[in-house]
């Protein structure tokens, strides 16, 4: 494993959150979509189920997206700001089926705060490990989704929204066309 389990889970969730807005439209348009997202990524803790909660989560996305595009110094600024604004206080906790892992916000903190701090704590590991190059943008033309490459050989080039398959089909067609020519 490249990072601690909770770090990897948090990075994947942060990328998924960033990718809810992008070239194929808004995927968190309402509270029902937010409920789905929270369930899919197994977020525990309190919820408000308000328009303000949804907006706070939506507003977090462009800030997190910058992490995939910025240089190391700017990433550090973003991460430190997120931790400072949220009064992050790391504590080891155990709950549900999860063994000890870090929480840096109380479970009744607003959802957007918890999402921000969880992402920031994971990014602390990425920066300290000198692994920011694992945060990339999908190479499929016009996709623009962000990618977390947790593979051993740093081989992940496409996002999880089907771009890997699309690229394979394109390459296959190109090979066939070349063989015919």
Could you say whether residue 138 binds Zn ion (CB under 5 A)? yes
SS3 97: coil
> Whole-number minimum distance, CB 142 to Zn ion, in Å?
9
Choose the stretch contacting Zn ion; rule: CB under 5 A; options: 18-26, 29-37, 53-61, 132-140. 132-140
**For residues 104 and 92, what is the distance between their CA atoms, to the nearest angstrom?**
8
Output 76 or 167, the one with its CB closest to Zn ion: 167
**For residues 124 and 77, what is the distance between their CA atoms, to the nearest angstrom?**
11
Identify the CA nearest to 18 among candidates 85, 115, 155. Answer: 115
Using the structure block, give the residue that is written with the tokens 């700017």: 74
Identify the CA nearest to 144 among candidates 28, 23, 63. Answer: 23
Output 75 or 163, the one with its CB closest to Zn ion: 163
Q: Which member of 140, 154, 155, 178 binds Zn ion (CB under 5 A)?
A: 140
Could you say whether residue 113 binds Zn ion (CB under 5 A)? no
Output 79 or 146, the one with its CB closest to Zn ion: 146
Contacts of 40 (CB under 8 A, 6+ apart): 16
Number of residues that bind Zn ion (CB under 5 A): 6
Q: What residues line the site for Zn ion (CB under 5 A)?
A: 138, 140, 143, 145, 159, 163
């Amino acid at each position: 494993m490249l990072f601690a389990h909770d770090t990897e889970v948090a990075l994947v969730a942060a990328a998924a959150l960033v990718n809810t807005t992008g070239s194929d439209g808004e995927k968190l348009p309402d509270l029902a979509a937010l409920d789905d997202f929270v369930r899919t990524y197994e977020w525990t803790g309190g919820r408000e189920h308000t328009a303000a909660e949804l907006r706070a989560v939506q507003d977090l996305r462009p800030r997190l997206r910058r992490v995939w595009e910025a240089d190391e110094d700017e990433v550090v600024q973003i991460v430190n700001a997120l931790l400072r604004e949220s009064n992050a206080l790391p504590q080891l906790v155990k709950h549900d089926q999860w063994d000890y892992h870090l929480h840096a916000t109380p479970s009744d903190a607003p959802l957007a705060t918890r999402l921000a701090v969880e992402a920031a704590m994971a990014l602390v590991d990425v920066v300290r490990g000198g692994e920011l190059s694992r945060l990339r943008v999908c190479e499929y033309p016009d996709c623009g989704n962000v990618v977390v490459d947790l593979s051993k050989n740093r081989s992940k080039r496409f996002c999880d929204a089907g771009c890997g398959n699309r690229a394979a089909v394109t390459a296959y067609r190109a090979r066939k066309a070349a063989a015919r020519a």
